Structure 1
Amino acid sequence: MGGNPLGAIKGIVDQYVVAFMNAGIAQEDAIFLGIRDSDRSIVGVQLQPQDCDELRRIVTERLHQIVPPIAPTSYRIELHPVSNGFAPIDDLFVVEVRVPSVRRTLLFATGGQEVYVKTDAGKRKLSAIELQQELIQRLGIDPVL
């Protein structure tokens, strides 16, 4: 997450949450920040003590902008200390954002009106055509004209 982990998290957390919530099946799962996608290695997020409260505020603010709105009691933000196998490493955490996925006809969007879906490779922003196809599929409409 480089030199500005709070900025990096602010820039992506709502995209991942929207993608997960648009999965189309009712479940609860978590998004983990500080784990490398390519090999699932724990790299952690460097957070000073004062950053922890700021992180919670930033994530809550970004999730509050999702439309349609989700209740603030429906998600949780947890910080897990990273260990070297013997002791916690100072100021290094895995950030967990636990969110519900609901089976809905409508799709969730970020505050920037972007719609993402969860894929096997992570998340994908839908183009206008893909958005139409996703809605047609969810509504069970035969797309033949």
Structure 2
Amino acid sequence: MKKLLVFGIVFILVLNAFGQSPEVQIVFDITSPDEGVHQSAIRHVTMMSEAYPKSEFELVLYSSSINMALKEKSSVSDALVGLLKKENISMVVCEMTLKRHEIDKEDLIEGISTVPDGILEIIQKQKEGWGYIKESK
């Protein structure tokens, strides 16, 4: 009986260890103006953040993807607002892109931050060991 109890405890511990989701850190590179790409990125981050709740995710927007982050132009603004309420998800926009398109930071959806350079942000994250996903068509 004692051996059976010990086996049961060990079995439960092993199942629990393998059943837990691994922690990951992933940066998403988004440059496309395509709304389908924006929707796909939101879907990916949503599913991954639910599957790996102890992980970190960052979306980096630059170049032609800027409309995704704008209050008045984003086709995914409602979904973004919901995502950005999660502590393990962040979204940043390249300040050089804002400058090139003559956009003020106040035009961004609430919760979106800026970084001086989107490409350098991605490179830095990769140097820190973050995984990389390019969202494209």
Tell me which interval the TM-score lies in, with the shorter structure as reference length. Answer: 0.3 to 0.5
Compute the TM-score of the two structures, normalised by the length of structure 2: 0.34
Larger radius of gyration: 2
Q: Give the structure with the higher percent helix.
A: 2
Q: Give the structure with the higher percent strand.
A: 1
